[in-house]
Structure 1
Amino acid sequence: MHEQHPTKFFARELSPTLCGGLGMSDLQGRVAIVTGGGKGLGRAFALHLAAHGAAVVVNNRNREVDDAGLGPADHVVAEIEAAGGTALADHSPVEDPHTPERLVATCLERFGRLDILVTSAGISGAQMFHKTTADNFRTVMDINVIGTALIAAEATRVMREAGHGRVVLVSSTAGLHGEPTLSAYAASKGAVIALGRTIAMEGARKDVLTNVLLPYATTPMTAQGMDPRHANAMRSELVAPVVTALADPESTINGQVIIAGGSGIRLGDAVEGATVALPHRALRPDALQQLLKQSRSGAAQRYSDAQDAFQQFAADEAALHRAEPEDSHV
C-alpha cells in the first residue's frame, strides 16, 4: 500500500525527460529566475536554461567585482547575450527580506511573466557544532532557508495565478545524511528538502510543480574537499540538463528528491521502517536497540505526506494493541 520499489518509482517518475535522451527541452518564451546564478552550479543552470530558449534573470550578490565594476551575475548575462540569448542581472542578496518582492517584480517588469525558479544561492558556514554560534547558524539559515523560502513563496504566488510554473530548489545530500563540521548547512538543506516536498503538494493542482535537486559537482564551495581525479568528471554543467528538464512545461515530475552528478542520477526518498510493538514497561537500551533492528528489517514504508504517515501508524498501533494480551500493557 505504502511500499514502493525504488527502481520502478524512478522509472515511472523520471524516464520521460531525464532518462534515455528523448529529445531536448524547448523553453522558448519562458522566463526563469536563478538565484546564486553567477557562479558554480547556479551559473551552469542559468547558461543551460538560456541555451534552451529561456530568458533568465541571473541573481547573484556583488561580493566582488572586477575593474569595470561588474560582478558574477553581469558576466553570466554577458555570456548568455554573446550566445544570442536574453538575460538580466540582479544583484540583490537573497537574505534581504525585500529581495523576494523586488526580484520577482524586476522579472515581471522586464519580461512580463515568470515560469521557472531555480534557487541555487547558498553558503556552507563550516564549523564544529559544539563551537557554533548564534550568528553562524542564523547567517546560514537566513540565506539557505529563509531566503530560499521567501523567494519561492513570492514566485509561486505569481505562478499559481498564471496556472503554471516549475520550481527547482537546490539542496544537498548533507540534508539527507548529515555532515560533520557542517551542522548549520546540513540542517538548512534538510529544511529545503521538506520545504520542496510541501510546496509540491500545495502547487500540484495549479500545475506549479516543485522538485528538490541534490547535486554532486565541482564548485567553488566543494573544490577544496574534492578528489582532483574526480573534478573534471563532476563538472557543474553536467547537472544542468536535469534542471532544464524539470523546468520543461511538458514535465509532470513533482515532489521528487533527485541526486545528480557527473553521468549519474538517482532518486532520494524519505522512508520509515516497519511498526513493531513497544512494550509498556521499563525499557533498557539493549531492548530498544533490538526493537529498532526489528523495525529496520521490515519493508521500508513510503508515505504521501506526514498525515498519511501518522494515520498509518495509528492503524498499525491499533492492530498491535488487538494482537497483544491485556497484561502486556501494565
Structure 2
Amino acid sequence: MTAAGPGGLAGRVVLVTGGGKGLGRAFALDAAARGARVVVNNRNRVVDDAGRGPADHVVREIEAAGGEAVADHGAVEDPATADRLVATALERWGRLDGLVTSAAISRPQIFHRTSPENLQEVLAVNVVGTALVAAAASRVMRGAGYGRIVLVASTAGLHGEPTVSAYAASKGAVIALGRTAAVEGARRGVRTNVVLPYATTQMTSEGMDPRYAGLMRAEAVAPLVSALLDPGSEINGQVIVAAAGGIRVADSVEGGTVRFDGTTDLAAAIAASRGGKQHTYPEAQAAFQDFAAELIP
C-alpha cells in the first residue's frame, strides 16, 4: 500500500462526511495536514454561543494550521446534501479527488424490540446517506477519470453485534456497496475501499474495553485513510480493519463445494465445506460462475 506522506495530497480536494467529530474529524485533519483542501460535512446537532457547529470548528483548525477548508451542515440522507457537497468542491476549487464517508449513527436496540422508526433512521443515515454522497462523487470522478473513495463501515457489518442490529445491518450494506463501487469504478480510474475502524469515539466510548480505550485513538486510523486517498495508491475493492496503528484485511469467503441433496447429514456437509478449499471473489457473478462450474462440469 502506498504510504501517504506529508504533502502527499497537495492540491487535491477531499470531501469528508461526519467530519466534525471523532473519526471523521481525524480523517479531515490528517488529509488537510497532507495538503488536501477539505469540504468538512457535519450536521449541527450542537452549536456554540457563536452558532458554530462541529464542522465549523474543524475548518478553523485546518485554517489555523495554514490549510484550506469549508464547512457544510447538511444531513447526508437528504439528496440535496450530496449534490451540494459535490457542487461546493467544484465551485470553490474546481475539482473533487477524494471522498470519505464517515457520517453514521448507532441507536442501539435489541433486535426483537427494534422499532420501525429506529431501523429507518439508522439505515437512512448510514446506508442511504453513504450511497447518495458516494454516487454523487462518483459521477464527477468517473467523468474526470480519477477518484479515491473510502467508505467507513464496521466489523459489526462483518460479524454482527448484539444490541445494534440496525447498525450492523447498515454497515454490512456499506461493505457490499463499497465492493460493488470498486468493480464498477475500476475502468474509470475510481478506486473504492472500505475501512472498518476500532476507535474510542463519542459513539463507542461506553462499550469500549477499558484495557484498550486509551490506545484506540481515531488519529491512529487516519493515516490508512489518507494512504487510500493518495493519488499513488491503486488499492481497490479492499476491506481493511484498522486500529492503534495496525491493519487487518478482511474478505468474504466461501468454503469448499459439497453436494447436498437433503438425504445426507447437513451438519457434516457444512463441516466438509468449511474444511475444503476456501474461495474469494471480486464480485457475485464470478462466485456464481465458479459454483455452477463445480456443480455442473
Q: Provide the rounded CA distance (Å) in 1 between the counterparts of 2:161 and 2:122.
A: 15
Residues matched between the structures, number: 297
Is the 1:210–1:254 contact (alpha carbons within 8 Å) kept by the matching residues of 2?
yes
Q: Which residue of the partner structure matches residue 88 of structure 2?
A: 106
Q: Provide the rounded CA distance (Å) in 1 between the counterparts of 2:150 and 2:173.
A: 14
**Higher radius of gyration, 1 or 2:** 1
Q: Which residue of the partner structure matches residue 253 of structure 1?
A: 235
Q: Provide the rounded CA distance (Å) in 2 between the counterparts of 1:98 and 1:222.
A: 29
SS state at 2:129 partner: helix
Matched, 1:291 2:269: yes
Q: Provide the rounded CA distance (Å) in 1 between the counterparts of 2:201 and 2:117.
A: 25
SS state at 2:3 partner: helix
Deviations 1:222-279 (A, max 9, x none): 1111123312211000000001000000100000000000021110001100000112
Deviations 1:30-69 (A, max 9, x none): 0010000000000000000000000000000000001111
Matched, 1:81 2:63: yes
1:47-86 paired onto structure 2 within 5 Å: 47-86=29-68
Deviation at 1:304, TM superposition (A): 2.0
Q: Which structure dedicates a bigger proportion of its chain to helix?
A: 1
Partner of residue 301 from structure 1, selected from 279, 282, 290: 279
**Which runs of at least 4 in structure 1 moved beyond 4 Å after TM superposition?**
none
Deviations 1:259-306 (A, max 9, x none): 000021110001100000112x446xxx11111000001121111211
SS state at 2:29 partner: helix
Q: Provide the rounded CA distance (Å) in 2 between the counterparts of 1:316 and 1:249.
A: 40
Normalized against structure 2, the TM-score is what?
Answer: 0.97
Q: Which residue of the partner structure matches residue 246 of structure 2?
A: 264
Deviations 1:113-169 (A, max 9, x none): 100000000001200110011111110010000010011000010001111000000
Q: Which residue of the partner structure matches residue 100 of structure 2?
A: 118
Matched, 1:164 2:174: no
Letter aligned with residue 83 of structure 2: E
Q: Which residue of the partner structure matches residue 136 of structure 2?
A: 154
Is the 1:47–1:80 contact (alpha carbons within 8 Å) kept by the matching residues of 2?
yes
Q: Provide the rounded CA distance (Å) in 1 between the counterparts of 2:90 and 2:102.
A: 20
Letter aligned with residue 270 of structure 1: S
Alpha carbon RMSD of aligned pairs, Å? 1.2
Deviation at 1:17, TM superposition (A): 2.9
Normalized against structure 1, the TM-score is what?
Answer: 0.88
Tell me whether 309-318 or 55-64 shows the greater mean CA deviation.
309-318
> For structure 2, which runs of at least 5 residues remain unmatched after alignment?
none
Q: Which residue of the partner structure matches residue 164 of structure 2?
A: 182
Deviation at 1:25, TM superposition (A): 5.7
SS state at 1:225 partner: coil
Letter aligned with residue 235 of structure 2: I
> For structure 1, which runs of at least 5 residues remain unmatched after alignment?
1-13, 320-330
Q: Which residue of the partner structure matches residue 12 of structure 2?
A: 30
Deviation at 1:87, TM superposition (A): 0.4
Matched, 1:17 2:17: no
Q: Provide the rounded CA distance (Å) in 2 between the counterparts of 1:231 and 1:173.
A: 17
Is the 1:36–1:59 contact (alpha carbons within 8 Å) kept by the matching residues of 2?
yes
